[in-house]
Amino acid sequence: MPGMQTTTKPPEMRQAIVTLDGVTKRFPGIIANDRVDLVIRAGEVHVLLGENGAGKSTLIGMLSGLQQPDEGRILIDGKAMPIRSPSHALSLGIGTVFQHNMLVPSLTVAENLALGGKWWQKPRLGELAARVDEIARPLGININLDAVVSDLSLGEQQQVEIVRALLRNSRLLILDEATSMLTPQGIAELGALMRRLVERGLAVVFITHKLGEAAEFGDRVSVLKLGRKVGEIGPDRLRSLEHDELVDEIVSKMFGRNAGDGAISIPDRPANDEALLAVRDLRVLPGKDTSGLEAISFMVGRGEILGVAGIDGNGQKQLAEALAGQRRTDGGSVTLAGRSLDGLDVGKRRELGLRYLTDDRLGEGTVGTFPVSINYFLKQIGEPPFWRSGIEHSREINTHARDLTRQFDVRTPSLSTPVGRLSGGNIQKVLIARELAEGARAVIFNKPTYGLDLANTQATRQRIRDVAGQGLAVLLISTDLEELLSMCHRIAVMSQGRLVGTIANGAGAGERVGRLMIGLAA
Amino acid sequence: MSGDATSASATPLDASGGGGSARDIGRRLLITLGPIVVSLVLAGCVLLVLGINPLAYYGYVVDRGLLSPLGLQQTLTRMAPLLFLAAGLIVAFRAGMWNLGGDGQFLLGAVTAAASAPLLVQVLPGWLTLVAAFVIATVVAMIWSLIPALLRAYQGVNEIITTLMMSFLGVSLANVLVKLVFLDPATTVPQTRTLPVEDRLPRLFETTVTSGLLFGLVTIIAVHLMMTRTAFGLKLRVVGANPRAAVHAGLNVPLLTVTVFALSAGLIGMGGAVDIVGIQGNVRADWNPAYGLAVIPVVFLARMNGFAAIGFVFLLSVLSIGGESAARRLGVPQNFTMVLVSIVLITLAVAEYLDHRFNQARRA
């Protein structure tokens, strides 16, 4: 608990080192940060809490000079100051320890710390040792300068990175997902270290998606959700709340309703609601850096929307890919309307009516440099009537593409515009048009509204409801609990490659799913 | 606010998407031809340093490669193998596979064609001999590309490295074959048996231009149409432009990869065959024209477009035939042709970069 407050100034009087003022950042097809305001003060551990995709990394990218905001200002010591580059950020006193280790494993600690000096000077290792000692000793960090980095534990490597940031006279230290690879012991040590750093007047920004750490280490907690800042809990309130109350409050901010969220509307089930998509004991072995799947079983009926909730990266993508035939499975069976899909490839499964709308619209969903018209038919290359005897029939393609563009309200300058030039909402409409093409029986939507603006989010959600209304089975994977609550009949929760529970949507379902998502009992 | 964002982002696209296609073509021409002029000036400076009048050199190259009847016929003849090479590289590059092993594939095709044709012609009719030589060269080159293809398709091994390495091995193997296996016992210099002139590909009309030129033209146009107009070509382009999208769309990427390598190497091997049965007649030991590496920049200059490639192959032939004459007459090393082509490529890349920056600045 942040009980060891030694700074005498009241919290809101502490000096603001960095202020974000209405900062917005867009990427092709995605709004990563939407008018975020943030004040980072000296002497505070400021926790940025949010799920993957909430916009934390982009925010750090802008603070560390890797990216420039599209709108809004960044103020340093109260003066507007664009952070032009990572080295500029360092010279402004902003040091960042990234999630993934940035040390050279084959060099010694001393050599790593000396990197980035003037290239024409020989590193003065003696001087360095004295400075490291001066910085590390009061913080209780023990650093062996002669050790080769690859021999150090991850926690030790992180300490080296923190020292490296402090060597550059950082006033603001950003720790990006710093605990993700640490042992519980290492996490506790890092917490204590952060406390000592802020006692010495530094500001620390601590990024995490783990609630417990936020409550334990933070002086101030800002909650990000889908690129927007949805709440901030100041030091006074943080101290006055009991741990459980605090967790409840943060949960409600992370998963709670926002103004402007669509109304709840769950489509009626058709009279004939037999099971369409059935999955039994699906299993995928974990890969080098992907999680696996273990004993996944569920059923989706005609006209049913089954939601899959969970913190991002718990196997949702693997599940979608395994169902679509894109990923090899290591056991289990999938049937669609009584027909087994086992052993069939992507094309066959699509033909039988299983459709997969990917969450990675530009990365795998489309070929960005190809025209919109071709992207509609990317999964039908070679099929009549668009290709006959292997020869492309442009007129057929363009006629159908024009129909789809009108039907799905895709706003594009022309059919020959490269699809990568469209906005995210319009790319999504192209994908939806493609997956819903005739013959669809079950559709997997993977994070269908991720990165879309409000209007397109609403339109997409309505489209999904319509799909279910037509009697198709829908599997809706989303990290946005509110979205699932607003349209699903049932919600399954995924955690570490398993389904840890399925909850019928209704009163109180949000709380129960939310607790399952963060690893508590429902 | 969100609704506004959509329409706002659609409007500028509308404005820029419509008109200006004529201006677009003009800009394309400018950033293609401008750098070539700049390169001629830069290469001219190099010549000045060597103490040679660049105007005299360029004049001589144009005269010998383009204007004199004999030179022009040589230029057109030279185009025949180069067009096959360009066709092979277009298939590979458009599919995102960097087959840099052209020289090895070419030479192995050439050597096997040169070894088989003079023997086959004794038992087969002339036309069948030529067909057989083509088939043999194609298959041998395909086999030579198999290792890089399989490594890339199933293990993800970078084909740039493997094809280059296989090319070194292929060139050496071709030499060894000429010196040890396919040696013509009737001559003292190590070379293969010679295909008699009357059994080679017929010449066009009353000239010395080989009919291989026509085959080359037909092939590269066919490849261009295959890549742009057919489902198969589109599949290859999807793999090249976004391999993950290809997997997502259910394409069999490993199989397509192997096919691309086979097609690419096969076409290059055919280039070797056409050079032998159409032009050279035999392979001498240590013969390696290194066409493969010369054609790579040409294909890039043409932006992997078959028709543009014909134009640039013609230009390369003019430069190399004229350059060979100039080398003899003016004492400029023959490699200067490649220096010129490389300078063109570099200035073109710079122009592309500047154009990109300019576009970004205009948009911002």
User: Residue A349 falls within a domain, yes or no?
Assistant: yes
Q: In this predicted model, what pLDDT tens digit does every residue of B320-358 receive, in sequence order?
A: 888 888 878 888 887 888 788 788 878 887 887 888 788
Contact A49, A208 (CB under 8 A): yes
In order along its 522 residues, chain A shows pLDDT tens digits of 444 444 445 555 678 889 999 999 887 667 888 899 999 999 999 999 877 667 888 898 899 988 899 999 999 988 898 898 888 998 899 998 887 778 888 888 988 888 877 777 777 788 888 888 888 887 778 888 888 888 887 778 888 888 888 888 889 999 987 776 677 777 888 888 889 889 988 999 998 877 778 888 889 999 888 788 888 888 888 888 887 788 778 777 776 655 445 567 888 887 777 889 999 999 999 877 677 899 999 999 999 999 999 877 788 999 999 999 999 999 999 999 999 999 999 999 999 999 999 988 888 999 999 999 999 999 999 998 899 989 999 999 999 999 999 999 898 888 999 998 887 888 999 999 999 988 899 999 999 988 777 778 888 999 999 999 999 999 999 988 888 998 999 999 998 889 999 999 988 888 888 888 777 665
User: Residue A9 falls within a domain, yes or no?
Assistant: no
How many domains in chain A?
Answer: 2
| Together in a domain, A133 and A43 | yes
For residue B125, the surrounding DSSP H or E stretch is: none
| Together in a domain, A211 and A325 | no
Q: For the domain that residue A90 is a member of, what is the CATH number?
A: 3.40.50.300
| Together in a domain, A460 and A329 | yes
A chain contacts of residue B18, beta-carbon cutoff 8 Å: 413
Q: Is A389 near chain B, with CB under 8 Å?
A: no
| Angstrom distance (rounded) from CA B357 to CA A487 | 46
Q: What is the DSSP letter of A152?
A: S
Please list the residues that pair with A20 across neighbouring strands: A38, A74
For residue A24, the surrounding DSSP H or E stretch is: strand A16-27
Q: Is A325 near chain B, with CB under 8 Å?
A: yes
Cα dist from A260 to A227, A256, A263, A482, A484, whole Å: 15, 12, 9, 12, 15
Cα dist from A159 to A145, A156, A187, A217, A240, whole Å: 12, 5, 12, 17, 31
User: Residue A509 falls within a domain, yes or no?
Assistant: yes
* CA neighbours closer than 13 Å in the CB half-sphere of residue B231: 18
| Together in a domain, A228 and A341 | no
Alpha helices per DSSP H over A278-315: none
In Å, how far is A298's CA from the nearest CA of chain B? 24
| Angstrom distance (rounded) from CA B79 to CA B49 | 31
A514 burial (CB, 10 Å; 0-12 / 13-18 / 19+) is buried
B chain contacts of residue A412, beta-carbon cutoff 8 Å: 10, 13
Q: Hey, are the CB atoms on A423 and B5 less than 8 Å from each other? A: yes
Q: Exposed e or buried b for every residue in B184-217, given b needs 16+ CB within 10 A?
A: beeeeebbbbbbeeebbbebbeeeebbbbbebbb
| Together in a domain, A374 and A229 | no
A382, A417, A454: residue with CB nearest B17: A417
Strands A94-97 and A172-176: parallel
Residue of A378, A392, A397 to mutate for B, most B C-beta atoms under 10 A: A378
Range of the domain at A82: 15-255
Please tell me whether the interface predicted TM-score (ipTM) of this complex is above 0.95.
no
For chain A, the C-alpha Rg in angstroms (whole number) is 26
| Whole-number pLDDT of residue B17 | 37
Cis peptide before A385 (omega within 30 of 0): yes
| Angstrom distance (rounded) from CA A167 to CA A131 | 7
Interface A–B counts its CB contacts (< 8 A) at 102
**Which region, left, alpha or beta, applies to residue A192 given φ > 0 means left and ψ of -120 to 50 means alpha?**
alpha
| Angstrom distance (rounded) from CA A258 to CA A192 | 35
B chain contacts of residue A356, beta-carbon cutoff 8 Å: 248
Supply B270's token pair: 């055919």
Cα dist from B313 to A113, B30, B41, B316, B324, whole Å: 53, 20, 21, 5, 16
Domain boundary among A255, A289, A323: A255
| Together in a domain, A170 and A286 | no
A chain contacts of residue B16, beta-carbon cutoff 8 Å: 413
Contact A481, A309 (CB under 8 A): yes
For residue A366, the surrounding DSSP H or E stretch is: none
| Together in a domain, A292 and A181 | no
| Together in a domain, A228 and A340 | no
B13, B230, B242: residue with CB nearest A421: B13
| Angstrom distance (rounded) from CA B286 to CA A293 | 58
User: Residue A71 falls within a domain, yes or no?
Assistant: yes
Please list the residues that pair with A233 across neighbouring strands: A221
User: Residue A267 falls within a domain, yes or no?
Assistant: no
A chain contacts of residue B242, beta-carbon cutoff 8 Å: 363-364, 366-368
| Together in a domain, A285 and A250 | no
In Å, how far is B16's CA from the nearest CA of chain A? 9
Residues 193-252 of A with CB under 8 A from B: none
| Together in a domain, A219 and A309 | no
Domain boundaries of chain B, sorted by first residue: 81-308
B27 burial (CB, 10 Å; 0-12 / 13-18 / 19+) is middle
| Together in a domain, A243 and A346 | no
Contact B6, A455 (CB under 8 A): yes
Q: In this predicted model, what pLDDT tens digit does every residue of A412-449 receive, in sequence order?
A: 888 999 998 887 888 999 999 999 988 899 999 999 98
For the ranges A45-59, B105-119, B257-271, the lowest mean pLDDT is seen at A45-59
Of A449, A451, A452, nearest in space to A478 by CA:
A449
| Together in a domain, A198 and A317 | no
A chain contacts of residue B254, beta-carbon cutoff 8 Å: none
Nearest CA in chain B to A358: B248
